[in-house]
Structure 1
Amino acid sequence: MLEIGCHLSSSKGYEAMAKEAEKIHANTFQFFTRNPRGAKAKEIKQEDVDAFLIRAKNQGIDRILAHAPYTLNACSADESIREFAVNTMKDDLRRMEYTPGNCYNFHPGSHVKQGVEVGIQYIADMLNEILNPKQSTTVLLETMAGKGSEVGSRFEELREIIDRVELKEKLGVCLDTCHVYDAGYDIAEDLDGVLTKFDKVIGLDRLKAIHLNDSMYGLESHKDRHAKIGEGKLGLEAIVRVINHPALRKLPFYLETPNDLEGYAGEIALLRNSYKEL
């Protein structure tokens, strides 16, 4: 069965997100751990978590994906911003243990004229400081579009980060279809080739989730502007090939398209109808 969901608001808690997922026939979902443009995190209530775990089991939700706030930049030139990243992720990973065994995704960050090499080292340093052997959460590096001084638009950059982290078993990758296409990886015309490259550089065993988005500007644009499914430069046919690819079809897919709940419900229905059960 296709495991697909979208980004839901966490403001009302875990059980409320599960209820919204049920309304749109999603069997997974993504959420922000805290205010995406700030630092504030909502208090987690054990009774909400308990209710969610029961509901999730009944709805067939086996795993969910948390997303770090956009303000987290582990490789900033500003030491205070790097410190914020460390403290925020450390707290987020503590909070993730309320719902153990899931994934936590973050944007590697922007090196801000320091150079990619410096950026990679700062990111690895942060991960070495906060990862611990007892955590059940897998931390995912997201593939980026290469806008400005972003780190992570090339598979080799993600590989370098992983290589410098001691607890490599706690790391994975989230592939964003809009981002990789905008970065220059042609998943529309050469999906097999891109995945072969990913496997050679990083390893498909580290791929844990897919952000499923169409691209407003297209191949090698480095713009990072998501479009609704079938309304961008990638197109519906390419996205259908992604969800049906043998190396990807068993992964969870998360829509981050510019939509409301009704729009997400329509995209989920469209993609379920395009998924070929084996």
Structure 2
Amino acid sequence: MLKIGCHLSTTKGFENMGKEALEIGANTFQFFTRNPRGGKAKDINQKDIDAFLKLAKDNNFGVLLAHAPYTLNACSADENTRKFAKEMMADDLIRMEYTPNNLYNFHPGSHVKQGTEVGINYIVELLNEVIKPEQTTTILLETMAGKGTEVGRSFEEIAEIISRVELKDHMGVCLDTCHVYDAGYDIVNDLDNVLDEFDRIIGLDKLKAIHLNDSKNPFKSHKDRHEKIGEGFIGLEGVKRIINHPKLRHLPFFLETPNELDGYAKEIELLKSIYEEV
């Protein structure tokens, strides 16, 4: 069964996100842990959580993907920004345990002209401080498009971070199709070799989720502009190969395309129609 969802707003609570997902044909979803452009988090409502957990179990939901806010920059040149990132992620990981055994995704960050190695050092330092042995949440590094001074533009950079995390069993990767295509990994014409390269450098056992997006820009553009499924440079055939690939088809897919709910519903219906049950 295709595990497919999109990004939903947390403002209505978990139970309503679950119901909204079902209404558009989804069986999982992604959500921001707090204000994506700030840092304020909504209070935990245990009754809401309990209702959602029952709904998810009754409807065979896939694993959920929480997304850290964009303001979290673990490798900023500013010490206060790094401190804020550390406090925010530590709090997020505590909150994630209310919905255990799910995924927490974050952008590695931008080193702001300090250099990639300095940026990676800061990211590793943060992760080694916030990850706890008892947590059930898996933390995912997102593959990035390589614009500006982003860290995570290559499989080598992602692998370097994971290799230096002490509790690396709690680490994984979220592969964003728009980002990796824009970064220079040809998932349209050379998907098998891209996945072989991922496996050689990082290990496919670390690939836990896919951000399924088309790209507004051509291959290796380093632009990071998401497009609706089938309307960009990856194209519908490219997407079809991705969701049906034997090394990917079991993973949860999360849409971050420029859509409202009705648009997501149409994309989910389209993806289900081209997913080949085996």
SS state of the match for residue 11, structure 1? helix
Q: CA shift at 1:218, angstroms?
A: 2.0
Residue identity opposite 1:8 in structure 2: L
Which 5+ residue runs of structure 2 have no aligned equivalent?
none
Tell me the TM-score normalized by structure 2: 0.99
Structure 2 residue aligned with 1:68: 68
Asked whether 1:34 is paired with 2:26, we answer no
Question: Within 2, Cα distance between the matches of 1:85 and 1:162?
Answer: 18
Poorly superposed stretches of 4+, deviation over 3 Å:
none
Structure-2 separation of matches of 1:150 and 1:184: 14
**Once the two structures are aligned, what percentage of the paired residues are identical?**
69
2:184 aligns with 184
Unaligned segments of structure 1, at least 5 residues: none
Q: TM-score, normalised by structure 1?
A: 0.99
| Map of 1:172 onto structure 2 | 172
Name the counterpart of 1:258: 258
- Cα distance in 2 for residues equivalent to 1:23 and 1:64: 17
Partner of 2:219: 219
Separation (CA, whole Å) in 1 of partners of 2:234 and 2:82: 35
Q: Give the aligned partner of residue 133 of structure 1.
A: 133
5 Å matches for 1:1-278?
1-278=1-278
Spell out, residue by residue over 1:173-229, the C-alpha distance to the aligned partner (whole angstroms, 9 max, x if none): 000000000000000000001000000000000000000000001211000000000
Distance apart, 1:142 and its partner CA: 0.2
Q: Aligned letter for 2:20?
A: E
Measured after TM superposition, the shift of residue 12 of structure 1 is 1.0
Residues in 2 aligned to 1:123 and 1:6: alpha-carbon distance in whole angstroms? 27
Give, in angstroms, the shift of residue 62 of structure 1.
Answer: 3.3
Query: 2 CA distance for matches of 1:94 and 1:62?
Result: 21
What letter corresponds to residue 74 of structure 2 in structure 1? Answer: A
C-alpha deviations, 1:247-272, integer Å up to 9, x for none? 00000000000000000000000000
1:56 counterpart letter in structure 2: A
The amino acid of 2:137's aligned partner reads T
Looking at structure 1, the residues matched to 130 and 154 of structure 2 have their Cα atoms a distance apart, in angstroms, of: 24
